[in-house]
Amino acid sequence: MPNYIYKALDQSGNKIKDKIEAANKETVVSMLKTKGLFVVTVEEEDIFSKDIELFSNSAFSTKGIAIFARQFAILLKSGISITGSLDILREQLENKIMARTVNTVYQEVQKGTALSTALRNTKKFPDLLVNTIEAGEAGGNMEDVMERMANYYEKSDKTASKVKSALIYPCMVLLVTIIVTYILLTQVVPTFAEMFSSLDLELPLLTRMLMAVGEFFNTYWIPVFGVLAALIAILFYYLRTPEGKFRKDLLMMSIPLVKSLVQKSAIAKFARTMSIMLRTGIPMINALELSSKVVNNVVMTRALIGVKAKVEAGSNLSAPIEEMKVFPKLVVSMIKIGEETGALDEMLNKCADFYDDEVDTVSARITSMIEPMVIIILALIVGTIVMAIIQPMFQMYESLM
């Protein structure tokens, strides 16, 4: 039977998103209503959803999880028990939703429930955090585990912020360029167009073209912006679908400088996730399963799913990693060294540090390249419009002479 992904509301109005196996959509709706849930959407899990689980189930931001883990680690290192730490955290966390969730966890732990189980039951904390804590409970080293998780989420948030800044900056520049061009065409050019139309002059082609464009936007700006808004809305909707996410990441992985940034960011996250999980004692297969879900790149996720299948079949880690062309030779070499020396977790951590530094370098390079490009593009636009205005003025001056 197929799987269906559903969104629903419980009787308290809380949002629920989960997966269920059923014969058809009608059966899913019936099953959920029997549980007292209000069904919002039900969609059959397609091939992309099966292969590509892009995001973890966390309801909190990476920064929020980092703050939670860091404060938890500090309290545990101070000698405060898990229950006592949760009691303090539920009072001092600034994120009210997280504070209420931690309060629920605190009450469960007080009843004797394991911390990892209580966190998992909320369905709001990422699987990576929950599974790592579960391994830490078995090993009795909760202080070290929370310290590692705090470092992990802090570095992940820092890297993600740099990637976002580097990718958003060109978009903002493009938007400003479009706005400036629109203002010049609809406000400046028409003013001179009125003056030129009163003169008996044969206007240059460039001037006539810009006047026509300005007149078009002034006349049809409502339908133009309506169509643009509709296209943008459709694009955003498509990019939220599994196939859209895959196509977007595939495109980004084909643009030279952007590929470098996205690939290195994903490798850093993969390596750090694997390192912390292997160091905590989580089996390789489980570590690969969770790592594939946190890299935030569908192309890389599909590659890691392939790696996991090969490892399950008896391969070591480096061989399938080498087969997947999305991983540079340096990553393969470091993993091989780690396997040969028995220090795979340490080598993966060094790999993560290296690629985090690479993300910083590429981000700075993108920013430094865009700044002169902005000046050149704006100069060309303004220069073209100025030329279109000046040429008729020279003609007018020559006719007077």
pLDDT digits (tens, 9 = 90+) for 110-143: 999 999 999 999 888 888 888 888 888 876 778 8
Instruction: Quote the CA–CA distance of 67 and 102 in Å, as a whole number.
Output: 13
DSSP string, 186-245: IIIHHHHHHHHHTS-----HHHHHHHHHHHHHHHHHHHHHHHHHHHHHHHHHHHTSHHHH
Instruction: Quote the CA–CA distance of 259 and 274 in Å, as a whole number.
Output: 22
Residue ranges per structural domain of the chain: 3-45, 62-155
Instruction: Quote the CA–CA distance of 144 and 274 in Å, as a whole number.
Output: 16
Confidence of residue 319 (pLDDT cuts 50, 70, 90): very high
pLDDT of 77 strictly over 60: yes
Alpha-carbon 364 to chain mean position: 19
Instruction: Please compute the mean of the pLDDT values over residues 30-53 and round it to a whole number.
Output: 68
pLDDT of 68 strictly over 60: yes
Confidence of residue 267 (pLDDT cuts 50, 70, 90): very high
pLDDT digits (tens, 9 = 90+) for 345-371: 999 999 999 998 898 888 888 878 877
Specify the CATH number of the domain 62-155: 1.20.81.30
Instruction: Please compute the mean of the pLDDT values over residues 141-146 and round it to a whole number.
Output: 85
The two tokens of residue 345 are 């977790």
The H-or-E segment that residue 93 falls in is none
Q: How many residues can be counted in the chain?
A: 401
Q: Is 117 helix (H, G, I), strand (E, B) or coil?
A: helix
For residue 24, the model assigns a pLDDT of: 83
pLDDT of 396 strictly over 80: no
